[in-house]
Every structure is written in C-alpha cells, then in structure tokens.
Structure 1
Amino acid sequence: MSRIDNLVAELAPEGVRFRPLGDLGEFIRGNGLQKKDLTDEGFPAVHYGQIHTHYGVWAESTKSFTSADTASKLRQANPGDLLIATTSEDDEAVAKATAWLGDTNVALSGDAYIYRHSLDPRYVSYFFRTEQFQSQKRPFVSGTKVRRVSGAALAKIRIPAPPLEVQREIVRILDQFTQLEAELKTELETELEARRRQYEHYRGKLLDFSSETPLRPLGELAHNLDSKRKPVTRDARTPGEIPYYGASGVVDYVSDFIFDGDYLLVSEDGANLLARSTPIAFSISGKTWVNNHAHVLQFETYAERRFVEIYLNSIDLSPYISGAAQPKLNKANLNRIPIPDPSFEVKERLVSRLDSFEALVNDLSVGLPAEIAARRKQYEYYRDKLLTFEEAI
C-alpha cells in the first residue's frame, strides 16, 4: 500500500476525483450475435453468457468466433474496451465485466455493452467487482425473472479516477494476488482429486470378493418402497423444511412428508447412471418426500444399507438400463442386480473402514471450498481497500 500512498500523495495531493463513468467514456450496446452464429474459427466473438461463465477480469483471446460477414454487421469492441454482460438471473452478476486486451476487435452480442473509456482497462474491470460498484449499481437493476441494467444507468456510476500511474500500480498488485489465488485453488483441487482416486482404489480392493462369496439379487436384500413414492407438481412445492428428492438429490423443499426414517435412494435416470454425473445411490435420513424418479429401498441395519450404497456406486449399471429415447433403471431390473452377500460382520467391518476413509476425503471436500472462500474474501477485502481513496473536494 505504501507505494500507492506515495504515488497518490505525489500525483494527486488534494485527493482523487470521483467521476461518473459516462464522463470518462461511452456505453455502446451490442447487437445481433446469437449462439447459432458462433463458430470454432473466424472473427473473434463474445456472447454475453460467456462473460458470466468463461471470462475473468480480462481476456486476450476468445472462446468463440463468427464469420467475417456476420461480424461486419455487428458492433465491435476495440482493444482496451470493457465487455459488460448487462442481464442475469442473479443481481450480483448483472454488469459482470471483462477487459478486452486482444490484438484485434471483437464482436459482441446483445444483452451486453461495450464501454469505451480513457482509463486503464483492467483497473475498470477490477472496479466493476468492488462493493463500491455493486452498491451504486443495485438501485438501477430492474426486471423480474431476468434482471438487467441499462447503459444509461451505468453511466451514472461514479468511479475513483486516480492518475494512470496509480491505476497501473493497483492493477499490478491485484494481478499478482489473482495469480496466487488461482495457484492455490489448483493445488487444493489436485490434492482433493488424489484423495478421491485413493478412496476409489481402496474401495475396489475391499469389494474384490472371492468366488466363494454368495450373490443375491437386490430385491431379496431390501424392501422396495416404490409404491409409496409420488410425483409432486411444481405448484405443490411450497417453501418448507422437508427436502424433496429426485434422481440426483435434493430438487426442492415441501412442507409435508411421506417417508420418515433412513432409506437408500437409487437413481432411475438412465442418462445420469451412464454419465455418473451424480451418485448412483445415496442415503437419506429423516422426514422427506421422494419423487417418482428415484427408487426407495429400506434395510434392516445401517451396515447393510451402506454396504449396498457403496457397492452400487462402484459398478457399471448399464446392463440394467432399458429404453432408448428415455433410458431408465426400472424396478424389475433394479431388483435383479446381483449383490455380494458376505457375512454381516464382514459388511460391518468394510463399511467402517470405507466410512473412515471417506470422512478424510469429505473433510477435504468441505475444507476446499472453505479455504477458497476464505482466500477470496481476503482478496476482495484487499481489492476494495486498494480501490478506496479520499475523494478530492
């Protein structure tokens, strides 16, 4: 902070002027570019949705392109301009911005603005992430399901405009902090992935039973409660404390319940089972609703339920999925899945070991977001402090 303080004292001894964004540049609305116009090569192009999902504080290249003919009909940002997504379902994300630092112009879609200005591009982009900016923006956000802000409204927001040398020093410091944050996140995620692979390897060894271990169809090991599960229309899903489960976990909450106890849910969604994008089987406990896209199984003991959950999450269920247009794991196929049936003592010992190992992975899973969130909060505090100045009178 001392170098910035010294620069401000030297270059702006009477304080920093705060000026409306509209006084320092102009807002130009994007137009015409649709997702169907995006290609893998051609003229650089940015769709407003990509600003939300793909781009950070700045970008030097684009994820997508469009044809030269299409680009000639579109409004284009120059190097140094800000690209701003002005619609979102989330108020905080309205006016998310990226500084365009590429070597050429870039075409921009509608629901976005180009901000052509006289400031350091990355300085402005960092400012758009501060609480200073957010607090000024909120009164201008409008709309119901889709929230938006206009260029005319953005032009009224006041930005501290220190000398360019001060802006660049702030950018240099924040760039370093951003790089450190990204490196930490990569390191923690790599450690988490290594723990997960260790768990899967350990699970595979423990579930490698000899040919002497009997196999029994799942329908003989559990009581299937599918007749009690029910569809719930969206209108019936009212705010409440009772979780409403579907094929991939909690999908909503309701104020009533059907099941009350400990159960194993198994996804019926064939596409989910093939992609393994969510757990195939997962335990639930307490009062709950379960819709007609997840099977409900009841067991005598925790060890038996957890053993089946672990086993189902370790095997390929594609041989039991039927249907082409809408593949699913129906009740008959679920009930005939062969499950190893060692003694209760073996199940109990195996579950205990894997639960202990999984707890280590889950601790890191919980710790990873917490650590990243803590670092991000620290970074945001530091960023906002760097962009806070005494205003010139």
Structure 2
Amino acid sequence: MRILEFIKQNCKNVEFKPLYELTIWDKKFKGIPKEWQEKTIKFNHILSADLKNLLCDDGDIFLLSTGNFSGYTNSEICKNFNQAEIIALPSGGFANIKYFNGKFIDSGNLLAISKDTSKVNLKFIFYYLQSNLKIIEKMFRGAGIKHPEMSSILSIKIPVPSLEVQNKIVEVLDSFSSLVRSLVRSLVLEKTAREKQYKYYLNHLITNARNSRIFKLGEVCEIKGRIGFRGYTTADMVKENQGAITLSPRNIINQKIDFSDLQFISWAKYEESPEIMIFENDVVFCKTGSTLGKVAIIENLPQKTTLNPQLVVFKNIKCNNRFLYYVVSTENFQSKAQSLKGVGAVPNISQGNLANIEFPLPPLDEQERIIRILDSLNELANGLSAGIPKEIELRQKQYEYWRDRLLEFPSKDSK
C-alpha cells in the first residue's frame, strides 16, 4: 500500500503521549431522559418494548450504547441531546470502544473529546485504541460486572504523528471499513434473497404438486415419541462413549442436526425404547415449547442415537422421506401445528393432533421432481449461510491486519 511508504517517509521519530494528555474525559454529556430510564432494563444489553417504540428509522439523534444495541430517535421525541465528536468506553461490562460524531444521547458510557483538534484527530485515537483492544480488556476488572480501571487506560501511550499523517490514516481506514461493511451488507442481502426464494418454492411446489391427494400425517407415517414412563433423569446421563446420543431441539440448527454439542444416555435407556431409535433418513420434529416445529432429516449419523421427550420421529414412512421432511417444513404445515398447540407454561402439540394435520401428497415421481428442485435451492441457501460468516471473518481479519500495520510507529526512543 502506498500509504505505508508515505508513513515511513513522514514518521521518522514519532512522539508517544499518554491518553490523558490528548483527551478530556470529565466533560458532562446529557444522558437518557428520566422518563426513558423508567422504561429501560439494563440498557446496554436489553431494551423493553416501550423503549424500542421511541426509536425510528429516519431519526437524527443517535442513542449511544457500547453494548449490542444502537438506534436513532429524533428531536420531536428527545429535545435534550448532545452534539459532539466523541469516543466511548462502557462504564461496566466488556471492553469495547466506539466513535461517534453528531447528535446523540448517552446511555451511561465514559466519553471523551479531543483536547486539541488542531493537533490530534480523535478518530485516529479511536482506531489506535481499537487496535489495542486486547490490552484494554485486561484493564477491565471485577468479580461480577467488570469495570474499566481508568488510571491504566488513561496511561496508554498514543503515537502522535503529524496531523497530516493522522488524517491520511483515518481516511484509508474509513475507506477500508466502509468497503467491509458494504461487502457484509451485500452478502447478507444475497443470503436473504436466496432464503426467500427457497421458502417460496418450498411452499409453492408442495401446495401445487401435480396429481396430489390429501392425506393426514398419521396416514403417511407412524409418529413415535418417548413414552412418559420411559423418560430419563440426570442419573441416566452418561459421558461420551458410555452410551447413546440423545437428541434435543438444540441439536436442530437450520433444519440440520448439529452433532457438535451432544448429550448421552445409558445403553439401558437407549435399548428400553427401540421404537425411537434413530436411523439415517429418519425425520425428527420438535413438538414442545418455543422450539415447536423445528424439523430435520437425519444425515451422517455418527453412532447409535435416540430422542429426548421434546422430539418425535416419523417411522414407517409411506412416501419419500425427504419429501415428508420438506412437507413438514412448509409454512402451511407449520402454521397448522402452531394452531394446535396446547396452553400452559410449556405449550406442546399432542401426537394425536400432529397426526391429524393434512397435506397434499403427489405420486412418487412428482415427489422426486420436487425434491430435486428443493435440494438444489436448499444447497444454495445453506451454502451461503455457511460461507458468509467465514467470508466476514476473513474480511475482518484483513481489515485488522492493515489497520495494525498502519498504526505501527517507531518512537523517538527506538533505535
């Protein structure tokens, strides 16, 4: 990068100064209005529904949080706001740092402004602190909620090259981070489009399958679950290699079985219920609680497996197993299952009600045609789902690498 040569030529002996000489941290900023605070629950982590209603897509006042949340409101709702260029640290929790320039209200962070904008670009300081976040993490201490040890943080030495160099580095990093954000947005949009396409064809093809007849689920398969008296307790749980896998709803991720986080029950418990022993191409369905409707087809089964009481398995299927898997994934089937769930602390659908749900079943050749189309679309959607996090991670590492390279300066004391 040409910027590296520019830095090398213009930064022979860079002076390092402690953060407290470059920034002001004791300036008072306006926080969340009192009437909002009453509607706030641990603002940096979770928002009540009432507070969310105060936000808007076209707002011009930023609700500043160093947690996982960010949003905008406007001057009609909040007339008491700040307008400044600041960097922010959380007053408690996990080490994080944010930069903002404009109108905002604060959610309870530690905020700083530049002491002298003619000599120091505050965003340059932000990028340098962000590059050294691992060091800042060690300065958050406490047994419960960690808090920043500000004496240590304010002593962090910041390189102070010429303002021209600072501005050039900020310009490059702004451009780089903007490219990364743009790429992430485009990848997410592509993923969303493929998922919508898949869901559309899933529902359309099965609803409009040629030469279909209406069947109840119980006419097409047997629904098997763990019978009450054959339930198990913690005493039946064993370590890996000492028993069989017992699947739970948490093992169903994106309509596939995730075998990375498993629980095991004794061989005696496994053999007690042969009707729910799981085999390749079985279809499992969650019938209980908030996960009701999660479904997966068993593929690449690593060893002997059974179910916990929250799941059922479809056995002796009289159609293509994969077609049935797609059927129970449709919006039509899922909405019927949700409408039949009971009431109570943990609502569930009985196996009898599940067996009575109707759906169209075409001849075998039509089932296979639909499966080929859906498999192709599903593979494309899932491929994007798997690839996007890796691509984002790669781009983020690439950005961090160049950020750290640009912020490496020899000090006056270096030889």
**TM-score > 0.5 by shorter chain:** yes
State the distance in 2 between where 1:344 and 1:6 align. Answer: 69
Report Cα offsets for 1:88-140 as digits up to 9, x if no partner.
4xxxxx3222223114x63332xx3123343423222222332xx13322433
State the distance in 2 between where 1:318 and 1:386 align. Answer: 54
Q: Contact 1:260 / 1:288 at 8 angstroms: preserved in 2?
A: yes
State the distance in 2 between where 1:339 and 1:295 align. Answer: 19
State the distance in 2 between where 1:238 and 1:113 align. Answer: 47
State the distance in 2 between where 1:180 and 1:353 align. Answer: 35
Q: How far off is 1:170 after superposition?
A: 1.0
How high is the sequence identity, in percent, across the aligned residues?
Answer: 24
* SS of match in other structure, 2:106: strand
Partner residue in 1 for 2:408:
388
State the distance in 2 between where 1:243 and 1:164 align. Answer: 62
Q: Contact 2:289 / 2:348 at 8 angstroms: preserved in 1?
A: yes
State the distance in 2 between where 1:186 and 1:377 align. Answer: 17
| Counterpart AA for 2:328 | L
- Residues 148, 368 of structure 1: CA spacing in aligned structure 2 closer, same or farther, 3 A cutoff? same
Provide the TM-score with structure 1 as the length reference.
0.74
Q: How far off is 1:221 after superposition?
A: 2.5
Q: Report whether the alignment pairs 1:313 with 2:329.
A: yes
Q: Report whether the alignment pairs 1:246 with 2:244.
A: no
Report Cα offsets for 1:145-170 as digits up to 9, x if no partner.
64443323322333322222222111
Partner residue in 1 for 2:152:
153
* SS of match in other structure, 1:102: strand
The runs of 5 or more residues in structure 1 that have no matched partner are: 56-60, 89-93, 274-278
Aligned-CA RMSD value: 4.1
Partner residue in 2 for 1:367:
387
- Compare 212-221 and 22-31 and name the one that shifted more: 22-31
Q: Report whether the alignment pairs 1:115 with 2:130.
A: no
The runs of 5 or more residues in structure 2 that have no matched partner are: 41-50, 271-276
Alignment of 1:1-393 (within 5 A): 1-3=1-3, 5-6=5-6, 9-10=9-10, 12-14=11-13, 16-28=14-26, 34=37, 36=39, 40=54, 46=63, 50-55=65-70, 62=72, 79-88=84-93, 94-103=94-103, 106-109=105-108, 112-118=109-115, 119-130=120-131, 133-143=132-142, 146-209=145-208, 212-227=211-226, 230=231, 244-246=247-249, 249=252, 253-256=262-265, 258=270, 259-262=277-280, 263-269=282-288, 280-285=294-299, 286=301, 287=304, 290-300=307-317, 304-316=320-332, 317-320=334-337, 321-324=340-343, 327-393=347-413
Q: How far off is 1:84 after superposition?
A: 1.5
Q: Contact 2:222 / 2:314 at 8 angstroms: preserved in 1?
A: yes
| Counterpart AA for 1:330 | S
State the distance in 1 between where 2:90 and 2:404 align. Answer: 21
State the distance in 2 between where 1:194 and 1:334 align. Answer: 31
Provide the TM-score with structure 2 as the length reference.
0.71
Q: How far off is 1:248 after superposition?
A: 7.8
Q: How far off is 1:173 after superposition?
A: 0.8
Q: Contact 1:265 / 1:296 at 8 angstroms: preserved in 2?
A: yes
Report Cα offsets for 1:248-280 as digits up to 9, x if no partner.
83695324475543432323356566xxxxx74
Report Cα offsets for 1:64-91 as digits up to 9, x if no partner.
899879x7xxxx9761221212544xxx
Partner residue in 2 for 1:91:
none
